Structure 1
Amino acid sequence: MDYPRIYKPDSDSDDTTPAFISRDRRPDRYYDKPEPVSATSDDDLFNFHPLRPPFQARDQKRANGIQTTTPQPVRGKYGAPLLGPENVALVEQNLDLLRPPKTDSGSVMNFKWPFSFSHNRLTEGGWARHQNEKQMPIAKDLAAVNMRLKAGAIREMHWHVTNEWAYVLKGSLRVSVLAPGGENEGVMYVADVNEGDLWYFPAGDPHSLQAKDTNPEGAEFLLIFDSGAFDENETFLLTDWLVHVPKEVLAKNFQTYPDTTPFDHIPEEELYIFPSTPPSEDINKELVVPNPTDPKYFFAYPFSKVEPIKYPGGTVKVADSRSFEASKNIAVAEVEVEVGGIRYWHPTQPEWTFILSGKARITLFASQHNAATYDFFAGDVAYIPPTFGHYVENIGDEPLKFLEVLKTDVFQDISLRQWLALTPHNVVKAHLGFSEQFIDTLPREKQVIVSGEQADWSSDEETM
């Protein structure tokens, strides 16, 4: 039987770090990089801490009718094999919980939520599921909805007590919003948004969403709200409001009184998400008034057309109030990290991260010796409270793509290497024992993404 080539830790070590990136107690020295060895059993695949989750190889063997074993909570001389029943499918997606790295410590609130765990509200026009602080109590400042509309389907006209920010996952939509201001004391904005584009609707501004038929399947998108307490089922809906207003009051408002017959067909139940005819491809045919020309009323942003900035190890592109003026309280980075690469932390803002594709590992440092590591896959949400140290590492065999959504008007982040490089060297040495030679090699420019390429371990001047 052929097994993949793997790196194994030293046999007398309880460290879970692959040997070729292990350090001895002198932080400016590294062990020599060993040659990979051939795995000889399923235990080899599951009883070491991998650079990448090994269950893809396991799945292939199962498909070929080969018996395989369950991952075990064993790390070197620590732990013991499972004796009782286990949900293997979940275990295999959470290997860093089953056998956490030696560096994990203490207690950290759960900061992972797969949208597949959320209750899904199904309608004739599509579906919606949400994540808020009820599902993930650590998420105090941001909540999210994953919504799907069939072609032509409408998300009922509504408004919120929170700001709404959105990212289109698939398909195209026509969105509209009425904002206060302008000559008529009300500005209507209508726009088409496509895959990878954004919109932002301020709290209280009434709006609507409709999937176009550009994609015959309709559209799917993410909605982010700047309150962890937001609940999708507590939205203010147009039909729900009007059905609870006496008809004679409606007649007075619309100046038909005493005739109340125009209001006889208001649905008694909310529409929420419902089927309808797709909008015209020509948006100008549906404009009641011309769109505004003032950028502060441009509530949609063609983020898909923004070219990402390339760095060693990946790409990043950002949208915040500097480029998307209407987005006053939410900013985003769309990040792609190459295999083995890592991305570091954001110091002051709550962060909601969504994995678009690939596999990630995130360790969250919560101070006071508390740290925890989780594994993430496409469709998973990570929530990082303000100031918590963390990294996002690509542990898959393909590029990792994800969104970093911050509750702020201007996107900011911090490079650990730049911090240490620019701090007086004697202070860094006093803390970490780094040699002067090692500190001198640290880049003084911010490293937005750190490449996963292996250094030349024969040289003391290479850095991590």
Structure 2
Amino acid sequence: MKLQALSQSLVLLSAVVPLGLAAPTGNADSGSNPPLRASNEALVGYSSSEKTNSGPPPDLKYKFVPGQKEDPDVGSYLDFEKADNPQPIRGTTGGDDPGPRNYNYDKINSDKLAPPGTDSGQTINAQWPLGLSRTRLGLERSGWARQENTVVMPDATEMAGVDMRLEPAGYRELHWHVAGEWSLVLNGSCRIQAVNEDGQTFIDDVKAGDVWFFPPGIPHSIQALDDGVEFLLVFDDGDFSEDNTFLASEVFLHSPKEVLAKDLGVPISAFDKIPDDELYIFKGTPAPKDIEKQNVTTASGVIPRTQSYSYHFSEQPAHHVEGGTVKIVDPQTFPIANNFSAAIVTVSPGGMREIHWHPTSDEWTFFIRGQGRATLFSAPSTATTFDYRAGDVGYFPKSNSHYVENTGDEDLVFLEVLQAPQFTDMALGQWIASTPKQIIKDTLKLGDSTLEKLKTDKQYVVAGTRNKESH
């Protein structure tokens, strides 16, 4: 009855002001402008089908994409990119949607619009496009930064990330954090500099593919070289915010000048021209090409090579597997980052990062190139599939299984970051293949021919071919 009453109310209201349209403009005294509210005659408890019929149903025109008519449990990737009117239909499930809707979003998130039949319930939100984050702009077109943390991904509690760009000669101001900072250079190059607790100094030039790490409390600076730089920062605290860093300009602004003069052994007038606000990202004098000109020597010397704050990961060859490549950096090769372990994974078209989970750490993932999808499975029976593009962040909690499948026509490249002293994972395929066959047969009812094909070695990435046939 309530639905019938609401239906009639909407019909009567539409006779006054068509739904979704503003009332016509005009002189309110002329009688042509309907009142803001209808009369109480709209409050009725019964309406015939003739009165509630608003006309024929909308004429929806759409075509199914390859795989959309399959059994939902097959769960093939549905490519809605070129579909004029993608629909929330998979196999015999779902139904059409006349709108209102955001078609652009539906086209790039087909597993949200028409999820595989194997999805169940709702896991945490394991996806955040950095393109939806507010971009903080640097001074005088010097660069920008945008971040992901628990404000936008509440369940990503162990790690947070920042994507930052510095124009040529642009600085990320002298600063330090309460969190550890691990970084991957995405493109370009920059000069990084730091001083540790013992007064030992550090300076290095890093380029695309290299990584650095600055422990909590270690002051450092970053300046882009001639080609500018973009880098990814990962912090070991999901609540971390780039807006709460300790900046050199702020330290000087909020310390009495008399105290600063006493501390540094200079006259108070030395601080007449200090900035009157934070700098954060700004342009400065281009760094000299000869790095030795900025290599400050102190009585404490330089930071030992074994404790270097940078690692030239770009020079490490990739390990090739059947479906792509893998590169791993962890404290075994980069000791200063004693709890950061990471892998750069390249998946060929049709391939897949095998189903796996990390027993001791959440996984923070950043998609560098291409497009892919992943299903996050949480015990006992919850599963959600997410579609990812370059610039997206993924997050997979400890021991929750997932895969990453390349759903595009180019290589998919992404970064996996763990809070762990060694990069490790458990692979579903290796586990099943390494368990006595009789146990697997009794449990999963797999046949002998299937069991013989399983591999006891970890695959990391498996090859495959996307189904391009029409259905």
Q: TM exceeds 0.5?
A: yes
Residue 399 of structure 1 aligns to which amino acid in structure 2? D
Distance 2:64 2:396 in 1: 35
Correspondence 1:368 to 2:376: no
Residue 415 of structure 1, aligned match among 416, 427, 432: 427
SS in 1 for 2:306: helix
Superposed CA deviations along residues 130-183 of structure 1, whole A, max 9, x for unmatched, are: 000110112000000111111001111000000000011111000011112xxx
Correspondence 1:242 to 2:242: no
Larger Rg belongs to: 2
Report the more deviating stretch, 108-117 or 81-90: 81-90
Q: Contact 1:201–1:299 at 8 Å: present in 2 too?
A: yes
Note the C-alpha offset of 1:316: 0.3
Note the C-alpha offset of 1:295: 2.6
- Aligned match of 1:201: 214
SS in 2 for 1:429: helix
Q: Kindly report which structure 2 residues correspond to 1:335-346, keeping only aligned pairs within 5 A, or say none.
A: 335-343=345-353, 344-346=355-357
Note the C-alpha offset of 1:69: 2.4
SS in 2 for 1:172: strand
Distance 2:224 2:406 in 1: 33
Structure 2: give runs of 5+ residues left out of the alignment: 1-62
Distance 2:184 2:445 in 1: 44
Note the C-alpha offset of 1:339: 1.3
Note the C-alpha offset of 1:342: 1.3
Note the C-alpha offset of 1:109: 1.5
Q: Kindly report which structure 2 residues correspond to 1:269-418, keeping only aligned pairs within 5 A, or say none.
A: 269-289=277-297, 292=302, 294-343=304-353, 344-347=355-358, 348-418=360-430
SS in 2 for 1:345: strand
Structure 1: give runs of 5+ residues left out of the alignment: 18-48, 59-67, 456-464
Distance 1:100 1:6 in 2: 14
Report the more deviating stretch, 69-78 or 300-309: 69-78
- Aligned match of 1:170: 187
Distance 2:295 2:174 in 1: 16
Q: Contact 1:362–1:390 at 8 Å: present in 2 too?
A: yes
- Aligned match of 2:97: 82
Q: Contact 1:295–1:326 at 8 Å: present in 2 too?
A: no
Distance 1:168 1:82 in 2: 43
SS in 2 for 1:240: helix
Distance 2:275 2:112 in 1: 49
Note the C-alpha offset of 1:402: 0.7
Distance 2:451 2:463 in 1: 18
Residue 99 of structure 1, aligned match among 114, 128, 131: 114
Q: Contact 1:175–1:192 at 8 Å: present in 2 too?
A: yes
Residue 97 of structure 1 aligns to which amino acid in structure 2? K
SS in 2 for 1:171: strand
Distance 1:140 1:370 in 2: 20
Note the C-alpha offset of 1:7: 5.0
Superposed CA deviations along residues 233-290 of structure 1, whole A, max 9, x for unmatched, are: 011111111111111111111123xx31111222120111111121011101111118
Residue 273 of structure 2, aligned match among 222, 244, 265: 265
Q: Contact 1:176–1:208 at 8 Å: present in 2 too?
A: yes
- Aligned match of 1:446: 458
SS in 2 for 1:418: helix
Indicate how the Cα distance of structure 1 residues 141 and 200 shifts in structure 2: closer, same or farther if over 3 A, else same: same
What TM-score comes out, normalization by structure 1 length? 0.82
Q: Contact 1:340–1:452 at 8 Å: present in 2 too?
A: yes
- Aligned match of 1:186: 199
Distance 1:120 1:150 in 2: 15
Note the C-alpha offset of 1:387: 0.7
Note the C-alpha offset of 1:426: 2.1
Residue 134 of structure 2, aligned match among 119, 126, 137: 119
Residue 433 of structure 1, aligned match among 445, 451, 461: 445
Indicate how the Cα distance of structure 1 residues 8 and 115 shifts in structure 2: closer, same or farther if over 3 A, else same: closer
Note the C-alpha offset of 1:6: 7.4
Residue 339 of structure 1 aligns to which amino acid in structure 2? P
Note the C-alpha offset of 1:447: 1.3
Q: Contact 1:331–1:406 at 8 Å: present in 2 too?
A: yes
Residue 215 of structure 2 aligns to which amino acid in structure 1? P
SS in 2 for 1:84: coil
Distance 2:310 2:182 in 1: 10
- Aligned match of 1:29: none
Report the more deviating stretch, 112-121 or 265-274: 265-274
- Aligned match of 1:71: 86
Q: Contact 2:110–2:387 at 8 Å: present in 1 too?
A: yes
Correspondence 1:210 to 2:223: yes
Q: Contact 1:295–1:325 at 8 Å: present in 2 too?
A: no
Note the C-alpha offset of 1:321: 0.6
Residue 313 of structure 1 aligns to which amino acid in structure 2? G
Distance 2:72 2:121 in 1: 18
Q: Percent identity?
A: 42
CA-atom RMSD in angstroms: 2.0
SS in 1 for 2:279: coil
Note the C-alpha offset of 1:222: 0.6
Aligned length: 399
